[in-house]
Amino acid sequence: MKHRFISKKYWKEAGTPFGSTNEKAAQFSDCINLSLGDPDLITDKIIIDGAYQDALKGHTKYTNMRGDKELRDEIRKFYKEEYDMDIDDSEVIVTAAGLIAMYSVLQAILDDGDEVLLQAPFFTPYPAQVEMAGGIPVEMPTYEEEDFQINLDRLESLINERTKAFVINSPSNPTGNCLSVDTMKGIAKIAEKHDLIIIADDIYTSYSFEKEFVPFASLPGMRERTVTINSFSKDFIMTGWRVGNVIAPSYLINVLKDMGENLIYSAPAPSQRAAIHALRNRKVIQPPIIAEYKKRMFYAAERINRIPWMSTVYPPKGSFYLFINIKKSGMSSSEISEKILDDAHVLLLPGNAFGSCGEGYLRLACTVGVEKLGEAFDRIEKIKLDI
């Protein structure tokens, strides 16, 4: 809104389809909400109890500005054990969630007018975060016909002298797609050729169903030009704890440390202790979580592909989102999402919330159990369309 006490850069309304659809959904007492990516499961008791006991022992104060040393060590140990990557302590900083990590990184690397390429369809906050950091977001579209992979020629055609970085997200929110190693190697060559920074938003790495996840930073020559954003929110069902981390060259970590000192000083100590217990106990905690969401994803994908005017990639490749093609309906993403809400009382997000190339799709979050998913699709199947 316009007001003389508000900076002009915030005069433009920045609302998204998330807000308007949720307001309308509140009108229906029986609404099945498949819109938000907040897991319905709660944080594992091992993590909660461990953090509680640590808080009783005094872990309620500021930590080191780069994070609890024990947590930084566990992060480094995780990368060594899982990916055989040797991460130096100077290359790690703990943040108050992945969103803060992404925004801080963009603030650290961008000069006013620098352009940032965004793998699209993209996580909705990306463009606003780039703009808030003084940059210009540029959509790098991917398409279902190309398996939602990065078309390397298209990528290179969007690069100019102001291009500073490229944000990738695999497994992807919202498409669920996973970038192939061949695609990532192609991106790496382009990054070297044009001296780009790659920001890898590695939020859903545990939910890689088709193949084992491969960090972009593990590719030859990419450590020095890759910033890895991690979060405990989805991989460990810890959305409310607000804790994540950044792995990047030490010169960038130092900048992030200085920024953090003036913003938050350190991420919450109890949350950092929870993250330590999450990493140490991941072999026990994660398998049942991953199995549950994989079961939901495969069930929902099968149900979607039985509806004449819907389709989605099968088998699902990653994350806990399905990107539903609704082009056969003859309606726009916003129109069909509203009709589904009105007629079936099921809330899905229109694909254009994730970039212009998301038009013609809906995003479904598998954050309810199979029984509730079944009820949602039973309702949707009854919708009559003139197709």
Q: For 163-185, how does the pLDDT look when each residue is reduced to its tens digit (9 = 90+)?
A: 999 999 999 999 999 999 999 99
pLDDT, position 3: 87
Give me the mean pLDDT over the 74-85 stretch. 98
pLDDT more than 90, % of the chain: 90
Q: What is the CATH number of the domain that holds 359?
A: 3.90.1150.10
Q: Which of 256, 283, 310 is the last residue of a domain?
A: 283
Q: For residues 354 and 77, what is the distance between their CA atoms, to the nearest angstrom?
A: 34
Domain that holds residue 147: 45-283
Q: For residues 246 and 374, what is the distance between their CA atoms, to the nearest angstrom?
A: 38
pLDDT digits (tens, 9 = 90+) for 355-373: 999 999 999 999 999 999 9
Confidence band of 21 (pLDDT split at 50, 70, 90): low
Query: Residue by residue, what is the 3-state secondary structure of 37-84?
Result: CCCCCCCCHHHHHHHHHHHHCCCCCCCCCCCCHHHHHHHHHHHHHHHC
pLDDT, position 5: 85
Do residue 225 and residue 332 come from a single domain? Answer: no
Do residue 33 and residue 66 come from a single domain? Answer: no
Confidence band of 2 (pLDDT split at 50, 70, 90): confident
Q: For residues 63 and 162, what is the distance between their CA atoms, to the nearest angstrom?
A: 38
Give domain status of residue 3, yes or no: no
pLDDT digits (tens, 9 = 90+) for 326-349: 999 999 999 999 999 999 999 999
User: How many folded domains does the chain comprise?
Assistant: 2
Residues 158/117, Cβ–Cβ less than 8 Å: yes
Q: Which of 250, 283, 316 is the last residue of a domain?
A: 283
| Residue 12 scores a pLDDT above 90 | no
Do residue 173 and residue 28 come from a single domain? Answer: no
pLDDT, position 6: 86
Give domain status of residue 386, yes or no: no
pLDDT, position 78: 98
Q: Which of 263, 283, 303 is the last residue of a domain?
A: 283
Give me the mean pLDDT over the 28-43 stretch. 91
pLDDT digits (tens, 9 = 90+) for 222-271: 999 999 999 999 999 999 999 999 999 999 999 999 999 999 999 999 99
| Residue 315 scores a pLDDT above 70 | yes
| Residue 24 scores a pLDDT above 80 | no
Q: What pTM does this model have?
A: 0.94
